[in-house]
Each structure stands twice: as C-alpha cells, then as structure tokens.
Amino acid sequence: MSAGLICSRDVDTASYDESVIAAAQRMRDRQVGTVIVVDEMRPVGIVTDRDLTVRALAPGLDPRATRVSEVMTPSPTTIREDDSIETALGYMRAGRFRRLPVVGRDGRLLGILALDDVLELVAEELADIGQLLKREAPHRWIGRQR
C-alpha cells in the first residue's frame, strides 16, 4: 500500500514569516500537533507543538515577534505519494519522527502521513486476519471466544 492512499489530505500549512502565536492558535483551533511550512506548496519546514514549547516558549521568545522560520525543523524528510508504507516506516524509524509530509512528483505537498495512520491500518488488517482465521478454523477457537 502506498503512502498516498492512507495519508491525510487535509494538511495545515504555514509560511516562513508567520508568527509563532498564529501557528500555535491554528494548531489549537484545528486540534493538530503539526503544521508544514511551505513555499509555493513545497515543504520547506515542519513545526510541531513540541517545537513551539522547546524552541519558543522555554527560551522565553516573544511568540508574536518570533517567526515560524526561527523554530521550524528545516528541510523535512518527505515521502512521495507512491512510496510504500514500509518505506515511510523506514524513514520514520531512521529519523525518529512520527510524521512525514507526502509530496507529488512535482514536490508539492499533497498530505501528511502520521505514524498513527500506519498503526491504525495495521490494527485493522490484523483484525481482518483474526476474523478470517476464526471463519476458516472455528474448532481452534472453541473456548477462547470472549
């Protein structure tokens, strides 16, 4: 399965010069933990709620005067929409992050893939396999059903 099939297409974005307070308020209002910083819809940075805490609030920066570009993680790892989920998990594991911007062939942002999306898919597939096993071998489940 490809990243483009399970990613969220509703992505919150920000511009370089947007204030930290504006990004934080959008994250609160939309109940998201990440915004992708874009330039002509190409991902150039990523800002998480943790970034806002560690890079802006903890050092005492003024959230109205501080720009997103000052606290973002620049040049985020991206994944193409036709790349596999296994590839996405490899990037997440290697980079120790939970979210990947998903881009098209032209490098423009299409969506965001969260580790939670992948885990949900795996859980659904495991449940489906469990149901299949129950149907195919009912005698193995006698006394074990809840």
pLDDT for res 138: 62
Interval 97-124: pLDDT, tens: 899 999 999 999 999 999 988 888 877 7
Residues 6+ apart with CB under 8 A from 78: 43, 100, 101, 102, 103, 107
Tell me the angle at which helices 85-95 and 115-136 cross, rounded to the nearest 10 degrees.
130
The fold of the 3-141 domain, in CATH, is: CBS-domain (3.10.580)
Q: What is the mean pLDDT of residues 16-24?
A: 96
pTM: 0.82
pLDDT for res 100: 95
| Average pLDDT across the chain, whole number | 90
Q: Which two tokens stand for residue 43?
A: 């991902």
pLDDT over 90 percentage in the chain: 74
